[in-house]
Structure 1
Amino acid sequence: MPTAPVSPDPTMEAISRAVAEGRAGDTLTARQKLLKLWSAIGVTGDPLHRCSLAHHLADLHEDPARALAWDIRALDAADAVTEQRVQEHHAGLHIAGFYPSLHLNLADNYRRLGSFDAATEHIDAAEEHAPHLRQDAYGALLRTALDEVAEAISRRDTAKRPSAPGPTA
């Protein structure tokens, strides 16, 4: 995703810093920081903040049930984000581009939990939104993950994908 915001947003910057810590291996500290931010934002706070935070917090959970809870929050918040709000944050982003990843994560969590009907619904929704993905490395990464999750669903495979984001077991 592009990283140059239209204007500074301290909350998005704090989310990004916590996410970077998690990706560097300190998932416990990253989760704690994101949970503290979640408390500050509140369940009715800025939907872009809630969507971004929940989406990234889900990736910091090895347990697919915990990840699922945060991914549901992310999708719910995305449904409340306006295109104008996304453009205020970053002119190169569009809310439609969020949905392939949000549905992909839900499909993958449901699959890992053995709920294959729900997983199929979300992988189908992710594929319907896939045309909104940019033609860049991030879009290619998501398209590959869509294929991997769809194949795992068809095999009724509940194992974590080696390429899945998040902490390792």
Structure 2
Amino acid sequence: MTEQQEASEDAVMTRIGQAVILLHAGDREEARNRLGEIWAEIGAEGDSLHRCTLAHYMADAQDDPADELAWDLRALTAADGLRPGEEPGPAPGREPGQPPGRRPGPVAGQGAGQTARPGPQQAVRVFYPSLHLSLAADYVKLRRPEAARVHLARARAATGALADDGYGNGVRAAIARLERRLAAEPGEWPRPFPEQYP
């Protein structure tokens, strides 16, 4: 990759990061607008990492649970499209539970103590627990428990890729919380909840 290409890649991630800052500050509409503009620019065939990151955060900016699900599905599809040799770049992220965001970012998985950048395959695997957890939570909101359980099981199965750090432990804890919700007695289906990561 040339320096010019790298600068262009970094510029896209910087713009996504700026929109995420707005989202965290509570300006959901402006964050949605900015992320929508970037999505229109990169297109459905754009860089998979950009699309995965953007769609993951665009889901956070949605008011309708069905729209949130649609964006989380786009994020998963984009992650599936990350090819061997496609280097992950810097991306906006947050630790689990960091307000006001509801989910850890799919590319925020490296703890503060880690300096080595993971290879592409490892980086892709780190995305999946969070992506499937987000989808499980979407299905809970849409009162589709079986679909939620499928994605929660996939999230749990993918946790082997997570490091034993703040991010990894936070994702595992969030999976356990949602598992407890889904294990509620049959007559006590979990109510939709405003914060996926309280």
TM-score (norm: length of structure 1): 0.86
Q: Partners of 2:138 and 2:191 in 1: how far apart?
A: 9
Please report how far the alpha carbon of residue 141 of structure 1 lies from its aligned counterpart in structure 2 after TM superposition.
1.4
> Which of structures 1 and 2 has the larger relative contact order (alpha carbons within 8 angstroms, sep 6+)?
1
Q: Partners of 1:94 and 1:79 in 2: how far apart?
A: 12
Question: Residues 68-83 of structure 1 correspond to what in structure 2 (within 5 A)?
Answer: 68-83=69-84
Question: Residues 1-169 of structure 1 correspond to what in structure 2 (within 5 A)?
Answer: 8=7, 9-87=10-88, 89=89, 91-92=117-118, 94-155=123-184, 156-160=189-193, 162-164=195-197
Structure with bigger helix share is: 1
**Number of residue pairs matched by the alignment:** 158
Considering only CA atoms, is the larger Rg found in Structure 1 or Structure 2? 2
Q: CA RMSD in A?
A: 1.7
Please report how far the alpha carbon of residue 154 of structure 1 lies from its aligned counterpart in structure 2 after TM superposition.
2.0
Q: Deviations over 1:106-135 (max 9, x none)?
A: 000001111111000000000000111122
Matched to 1:15, the amino acid is I
* Contact map agreement 1:130 1:143 (CA 8 A) in 2: yes
SS of residue in 2 equivalent to 1:86 = coil
* Contact map agreement 1:120 1:153 (CA 8 A) in 2: yes
Q: 1:110 to 1:10 in 2, by over 3 A?
A: same
Q: Partners of 2:83 and 2:30 in 1: how far apart?
A: 31
Q: 1:154 to 1:86 in 2, by over 3 A?
A: farther
Give every structure 1 segment of 4 or more consecutive aligned residues whose post-TM-superposition deviation is greater than 2 Å. Answer: 90-93, 161-165
Residue number in structure 2 paired with 1:3: none
Q: Partners of 2:81 and 2:196 in 1: how far apart?
A: 30
SS of residue in 2 equivalent to 1:39 = helix
